[in-house]
Structure 1
């Protein structure tokens, strides 16, 4: 049976609230200056800690045991990521659709999570109860959103400066 979770995000800080049947069941809270985050969904609590330049890798830590339970590696140029669980299982995150408003987390066999968004809200449809994967799908999307904003913030001054020099 498919599990449906609704989410809302705050555009300014990127934080998420997760709802099932109209009741808040979880959240993702990002730190102000980095894409690190704390998350909770029902009985699970995870911390996402980014590493590397452009935050090319994220460790997922179970807050109850302080154990690293997964690692996320990003392929920034292709808007893809791989979630590697301690069990050895791997799941692929990838954006679909022209506006990247749909994305999936899948093991390409029997577990699939589909995300749909419109502005600052959306729906998650999951055929797995793996809360880590459900949260990771939203977390990865926000990491890519923040990278896009940073890239635009770096490019606009360059374009503006070069345009002004040629007038």
Structure 2
């Protein structure tokens, strides 16, 4: 696995028809990582730039997602909300919001919650494109962080989780 230092500010992602997994590529097309949704399970495995992150859906009517590393050490959790907004609580104390930018769920963003202000910066923006045989899109990192890979994967997971939920509803 080749690592990018510094972490690139733009990534591309793609998945071919009927696959449950997604690949992340840098702008030059070099493989950066993946995310794999299980068919029936509630565990999602991902890796980006050598950083492994797992997501575990909790409960019957899922409202919470546990985030862990490759050793199953908890990194934080996500409180899922309806109407296009969820809250991410990291064990480091950082709080982020996932927010849908349009009703079609083709654009979304991660916003870092700064204490004592309503002027929270957008950290990452995501774009989703669907074609008959391929899903693809772009990710743009607007704010660098020591946890860029983790935050990028969390935002992507949430976007695709809601896209997949919408598909199930028809």
Q: TM-score, normalised by structure 2?
A: 0.80
Distance, in Å, in 2 between the alignment partners of 1:90 and 1:5 is 23
Please state if 1:82 is matched with 2:87.
yes
Shift of 1:11: 4.2
Structure 2 residue aligned with 1:160: none
Q: Which shows bigger deviation, 42-51 or 13-22?
A: 13-22
Shift of 1:55: 2.0
Distance, in Å, in 2 between the alignment partners of 1:26 and 1:123 is 14
Alignment gaps of 5+ in structure 1: 153-167
Is contact 2:21-2:37 (8 Å) kept? yes
SS in 2 for 1:148: helix
Provide, for residues 106-131 of structure 1, a one-character-per-residue CA deviation record: whole Å limited to 9, x for no partner.
Answer: 11534510001211111100022411
Superposition map of 1:22-61 within 5 A? 22-61=29-68
User: Would you say how many aligned residue pairs link Structure 1 and Structure 2?
Assistant: 150
Please state if 1:128 is matched with 2:144.
yes
Please, what is the CA RMSD of the aligned residues? 1.9
* Segments ≥4 residues shifted beyond 3 Å: 108-111
Provide, for residues 80-137 of structure 1, a one-character-per-residue CA deviation record: whole Å limited to 9, x for no partner.
Answer: 1111100111100011124221100011534510001211111100022411110111
Shift of 1:13: 3.6
SS in 2 for 1:33: coil
Larger Rg: 1
Shift of 1:42: 1.0
Shift of 1:138: 1.2
Superposition map of 1:1-150 within 5 A? 3-20=9-26, 21-63=28-70, 65-76=71-82, 78-108=83-113, 109-110=120-121, 112-119=123-130, 120-126=135-141, 127-129=143-145, 130-150=148-168
Structure 2 residue aligned with 1:163: none
Alignment gaps of 5+ in structure 2: 1-5, 114-119
